Amino acid sequence: MLLQLADLEVRYGTIPALKGITLDVGDGEIVTLLGANGAGKTTTLRTISGLQRAWRGTITFAGTDLGHMAPHEVMALGIGHVPEGRRIFPRMTVLENLEMGAYRRRGSIRPDLDRVFGLFPVLGERRKQAGGTLSGGEQQMLAIARSLMGQPRLLLLDEPSMGLAPLIVRDIFAIIRQIRADGTTILLVEQNATQALRLADRGYVMENGVIVMTDRAEQLLRDPRVRAAYLGETAGAGG
Amino acid sequence: MSTVRAPTPLLRRLWLSTDARRLAACVAGGLVLAVMTGPEGSGTAPTSGFTGSLGNSRVIGFVVFGVVLWLLMTARQRYGTEIRAVSDRLSAAPRRLLPDKRVRGVFYLVLLGIAIGYPTVLNGFWQEVLVDQIGVYVLLALGLNVVVGYAGLLDLGYIAFYAIGAYSAAYWTGALPVHPLFHLNAFYAIPLAVLAAMLAGVILGAPTLRLRGDYLAIVTLGFGEIIEIVANNLQGVTGGAQGVIGIPHFSIHFLGVVYHWGLGSLPYYYLLLGFIVVVLIAFHFLENSRVGRAWVAIREDEVAAESSGINVLKYKVMAFAIGASTSGLAGMVEASKIGFVEPGDFTVQLSILILVLVIFGGMGSLPGAVIGAAVLQFLPQYLRVHPLFGFQQQDLYLYLGAILVVMMIFRPVGVFPSRRRKRELGLAEHGVGSADAMESTTGPIS
Ligand SMILES: Nc1ncnc2c1ncn2[C@@H]1O[C@H](COP(=O)(O)OP(=O)(O)O)[C@@H](O)[C@H]1O
Ligand SMILES: [Mg+2]
C-alpha cells in the first residue's frame, strides 16, 4: 500500500470531524472518496498533507509515518495536494504558478513544463497571463498542473469538478486518467459521484466523519444505497 | 423606479442623489477637520474651539478641500478608466524612460551623487532633518516593507525592534544602569544591536507567525506596548521614563583609519546613506531570489503556498527577522547620534507612522518605501518652517490619516507601486474572481 490511514481522528476544537477513518490507496490506483458536503473529505486530505493535525491514528506513506510532519515535508516525500476551490496564485502568471509548484526542486524544470503543457495545451497558450484572469476550468487545470510540477507519487485532488461545466469536467477527468497512466497514484475527492466512480478503481463513501461503505468502483456504481444517496435516484428505482 | 410617483420634494431628491449626499459628507468632513486642527477650547470658554476655527477665514480652505475631494471622487466615478490610464502611464514613465539597464544604472549613480553632494549646501537644520527625520525613517520603512510589502504580514509593533536596537546601543556602550558583559565602542556594537533585534524578531515571530492575519496584528501591537511599558518601568535596567543619556558617538580605529562621529549631522547622514544603499541592494536581490518568490506566494495564497511545498513559517519568520534587524539598526544609529534614548520615542503611533510611509510609497516597492518615507517625513518639517493653512505639528496624524484615506480611494497601490502590486490592482479593478461566475452557474450535473 502506498498510503494508509488507520483509525484517523481529527477534531476542530472539541468537535470531531473525522471519527476513525481507515482507508488505503495502492500504488498506481485511482481511489475516490465520496460524500455529501461536510462529510469530512477535505479534512481527510488536509490531514494527509499536514495542513491539519490528527488527534489520533496514523498516516503512513510509502512506509513513512507522516505523524507530525509539516506540509512542506509531506510534499517533499512525494505527495501533491490540489486544494479545494483551486487555490492558484491569482496575480502570478501561469508560468510563475508552475514554477512555484517546482519550488522545492533543483535542476531543470523544462521537461516538466513540456509535459504539463502537453497535458493542458491551453495553459501553454496562456503562459504569460495572470492566473486570476483564467476561466474556472483553466484555473483548475493550472492547479493540477502546478502540483504535477512537484513530481508527486501520489496526487490528492479535492473536488476538481466543483463549479465547472460538464464538458470541462469531462476534460479534466480524462486528464486525471492520463496522469495515472503516466504513473501517479490518485486519491480523488468528489461529490460528482457517477463520473468519479467511472474513473476510479475503488471508492469509499463517507458520512459524518466515518466511512460507511467501500468497494470496487463498479460495485458502488451499482449499489442501490449509493445510487439513492449520491446519484439522485430513489432506492430500488435504479436498474 | 417602476411606477411614476408624484414629484419628490427638492430636499428629498437631493438626499436620494448619491452625488449630493457625498458632497455633504465631504464638506462636513472638511469642517470636522477644520475644527480638529483649529484652536483648542478652554474651561472658561468651551465653545471657543468651534468659533475660533469655524468663524475664521481658515475654514474656507477646508471647505474647498471638501469640495475638491468630492470633485475628485465624482470625476473618478465618471472618468475612472481614463484617469487610471493617465496615472498608470505617469507612474510607468520612469521605467519607460529608462529601459536600458545601463542607463538606469547611470541614473541611480546620478541620484546617489546628488544624495552625497546636495546635503553639504544645506543648513544645519535641514541636515539634522535629513538624519533624524528622513534617513532613519527611510531605513525603517525599508525594513517594514519586507514584512508588510513582501511577506504580507501586518506588524503593528515594528517600533519595538527599533527600541531594542537603541537600548542595545546603550547597553553595550555602558550607558545603561546595568553593566554590560564587556564594553564596546558604539560602532562595534552595531552588529550586536542588529542581532538583538533579529533575535527578538525570531522569538516573537516563531510562535505567533502561525497565526493568521488579524491575530498577528494584535500580537505585534501588544508586543510594541510591552516593550514600551517595560522600558518605562524597569527603572534599574532601562533607566525608566527619564531614559538614559551618554550613549557615545560612533568612532572607528581600524587598520590605521581613525574617525570620530561628533555632534554634526552630516557624518551620520553619510553613515545612514551607506546603510541605506547596502540595504537597498540587499533587498533588491532578496526580492528577486527564491526567498522573494516564496514571499510573493505566501502573500497571494498561504494555503496554495503550503501546497506548493513552501515552508511558510520559515519564510515568514525570515521576513519578520529581516524587518526587525533593519529596525534595530535604525534605532542603534539614532541612539548613538542623539546620545540618549527614552521610552517616549517608541510609541505605537510611530509604528503606525512607518506603516503609513510604506503604504503611501507603495507596498512591496523599494523606490516606494524610500520616496514615500522621504516625502512624508519632509513635508511636516517643511510646513513647520513655512506654515500653510495654519498647519500645526500636533495635527500631523490627522493629515496623515486623511492622506491615507484619499490614497485608498484613488491609488490603493501607493505612489510608486511595484510592478507586481500594480498587476494586483489591475486585476482587482477588472473584477477578477467574478471571472468564473459564469461558468459556475452550471453546477455539477452528471
Ligand atoms: N476550519 C474548520 N473549523 C471548524 N470546523 C470545520 C472546519 N473545517 C471543516 N469543519 C467541519 O468539519 C466537518 C467536515 O468538513 P469538510 O472536511 O470540509 O467536509 P467536506 O470536504 O466533505 O465537505 C464539517 O462539519 C465542517 O463544518
Ligand atoms: Mg470539501
* Residue B86 reports pLDDT greater than 70: yes
Mean pLDDT of B273-290: 94
B259 part of a folded domain: yes
pLDDT band at B441 (very low <50, low <70, confident <90, very high): very low
* C-beta of residue B271 within 8 angstroms of C-beta of residue B119: no
At B442 the pLDDT is 31
- The 10 Å Cβ neighbour count of residue B439 is 16
- The 10 Å Cβ neighbour count of residue B54 is 14
Q: Measured between alpha carbons, how far is residue A4 from residues A23, A60, A194, A210, B370 in Å?
A: 6, 5, 25, 16, 54
pLDDT band at A227 (very low <50, low <70, confident <90, very high): confident
* Residue B427 reports pLDDT greater than 80: no
Radius of gyration, CA atoms only, chain A: 18
Check residues B413 and B423 and name the one with the higher pLDDT.
B413
Check residues B125 and B82 and name the one with the higher pLDDT.
B125
The ligand minimizing its distance to the Cα of A51 is: 1
B91 part of a folded domain: no
Mean pLDDT of A129-146: 93
Nearest to A100 among B308, B435, B439 (CB): B308
B60 part of a folded domain: no
| CA nearest to A147, candidates A188, A111, A97, A110 | A97
At B446 the pLDDT is 33
Find where cell 546601543 sits: B169
Per the structure, how many domains does chain B have? Answer: 1
Range of the domain at B396: 106-439
Round the average pLDDT of chain A to a whole number and report it: 91
Mean pLDDT of A157-172: 92
- Which residue of A52, A75, A96, A103 is the best one to mutate when testing the B interface, meaning the one whose CB has the most B CBs within 10 A? A103
Round the average pLDDT of chain B to a whole number and report it: 82
Q: Measured between alpha carbons, how far is residue B394 from residues A82, B345, B348 in Å?
A: 53, 16, 16
Lowest mean pLDDT among A47-61, A71-85, B234-248, B361-375: B234-248
B70 part of a folded domain: no
- The 10 Å Cβ neighbour count of residue B436 is 20
**Atom 11 of ligand 1, nearest CA residue:** A17
Lowest mean pLDDT among A88-97, A144-153, B89-98: B89-98
| CA nearest to A160, candidates A187, A132, A127, A120 | A187
* Residue A203 reports pLDDT greater than 90: yes
At B122 the pLDDT is 86
B53 part of a folded domain: no
B83 part of a folded domain: no
The residues, ordered by sequence, that sit 6+ positions from B388 with a Cβ below 8 Å of its Cβ are none
A211, β-bridge pairs: A206
B431 part of a folded domain: yes
Angle at B247 between CA B241 and CA B249, to 5 degrees: 145
Q: In the structure grid, which three cell numbers stand for residue B119, read together?
A: 546635503
CA distance A148 to A178: 12
Atom number in ligand 1 closest to CA A44? 17
Q: How far is the CA of A15 from the centre of ligand 1 (A)?
A: 10
- The 10 Å Cβ neighbour count of residue B100 is 9
* Residue B182 reports pLDDT greater than 50: yes
Mutate to test the pocket of ligand 1, among A5, A8, A11, A12 (most ligand atoms within 8 A of CB): A12
Q: CB distance A132–B440 less than 8 Å? A: no
Counting beta carbons within 10 angstroms of the beta carbon of residue B24, is it exposed (0 to 12), middle (13 to 18) or buried (19 or more)? middle
At B4 the pLDDT is 59
At B436 the pLDDT is 30
CA distance B306 to A100: 10
**Atom 1 of ligand 1, nearest CA residue:** A12
CA distance A42 to A57: 17
Mean pLDDT of B239-265: 80
The ligand minimizing its distance to the Cα of A47 is: 1
Mean pLDDT of B278-302: 93
Mean pLDDT of A141-168: 94
Of A57-61, A83-87, B18-22, which one has max mean pLDDT? A57-61
**Atom 12 of ligand 1, nearest CA residue:** A17
Counting beta carbons within 10 angstroms of the beta carbon of residue B266, is it exposed (0 to 12), middle (13 to 18) or buried (19 or more)? middle
Mean pLDDT of B408-427: 69
Check residues B43 and B446 and name the one with the higher pLDDT.
B43
At A4 the pLDDT is 95
Q: How many CA atoms lie within 13 A of B217 on its CB side?
A: 7
B274 part of a folded domain: yes
The structure's pTM equals 0.82
